[in-house]
Amino acid sequence: MMKCKYCGGNLTLEQAYCPHCGRPNEEAEQHVRDMEHYKNNFEDTRSDVYEVAEKNTEIMSHTVIITVLVILCVIVFVVATHSWSIRRELLQLDSKIRQGSYVEQMEQYLEDEDYIEFSAFCDRHYIGAYGSDDSYEDYRLLIDASGDYRYIYENLMKAVTTDSNRSDMLYIYYQSIAEYYGRLEQILQPVDNEYMEQQYQELPEDKKEDMEANVKILLQTYFGMTQEEAEDFDTMSNAQKIVFMEEKGEVMGYGKSEK
């Protein structure tokens, strides 16, 4: 409540003119101006606060998006660069889960004396490979031996079918045969030390004989070796084996045929 400065009548701040004398209320004018000023200030501050808050929210949401994208990128690149490891892990898990049926299949291959399919099956399912667990421990020797047998067999086939266009590959095939033959012999006839003998002693005798006999038959047939030469082949060093195969292969005409 205030008084009119002209007539002394009672006034309020909102009354622009005195209701008693009709003269203008100067303080009311000032009050309106002040109110307008405060209102404008308030609106400015409010819009600034909104603007800053809105930007902060945007920054926050952008930060979240960037974080999610970085995580996704990392996941995608890790999966892309580890695809083979992922495959290996999945196959190993699968071979563990289905051990029963896989063992049955492996036994079937062994019964059929099909060491090539046995080895291919183990490779396919990552059974007995480096880094795998011990679920198939009983078969480890057979897996190793059949793998070596398979590589001798395949390289021998490659040597036999090599024509003049690829004659330079013959040395590689002979080298592979010599290397895998040496490895197979170490498994089939372990003489190096007691440890290996103990490791390999459980390999079934009939499988040993079968694989060894097959390799010897193949060498005799496709390298024209006599039985004695095939027996002596065991005692040769890798280099001697390669030279011997080169001599025999030359006689057999490998790498000379035209297609």
21 sits in which H/E element: none
Q: Is 121 in contact with 86 (CB distance < 8 Å)? A: no
Q: Which of 32, 35, 65, 239 binds other proteins (CB under 8 A)?
A: 65
Q: Which two tokens stand for residue 137?
A: 């421990």
Q: Which two tokens stand for residue 146?
A: 């059949």
Q: Which two tokens stand for residue 238?
A: 């890798």
Give the E-state strand segments of 38-139 in sequence order.
none
Q: Is 52 in the site for other proteins (CB under 8 A)?
A: yes
Q: Which two tokens stand for residue 173?
A: 């095939």
DSSP 202-242: TS-HHHHHHHHHHHHHHHHHHH---HHHHHHHTTS-HHHHH
Q: Is 117 in the site for other proteins (CB under 8 A)?
A: yes
**Measured from the CB atom, is 25 or 125 closer to other proteins?**
125
Q: Which of 13, 103, 116, 129 binds other proteins (CB under 8 A)?
A: 116
Instruction: Look up residue 79 and give its amino acid.
Output: V
Q: Is 63 in the site for other proteins (CB under 8 A)?
A: yes
Q: Is 69 in the site for other proteins (CB under 8 A)?
A: yes
Phi, psi of 132 (to 5 degrees): -80, 165
Q: Is 21 in the site for other proteins (CB under 8 A)?
A: no
Strand partners, 17: 24
Per-residue contact track with other proteins, 157 to 196, x per CB under 8 A? xx-xx-----------------------------------
Give the interface with other proteins as residue ranges (CB under 8 A).
44, 48, 51-52, 55-56, 58-59, 62-63, 65-66, 69-70, 72-73, 76-77, 79-81, 83-84, 86-87, 116-117, 120-121, 123-125, 150, 154, 157-158, 160-161, 214, 217-218, 220-222, 257, 259
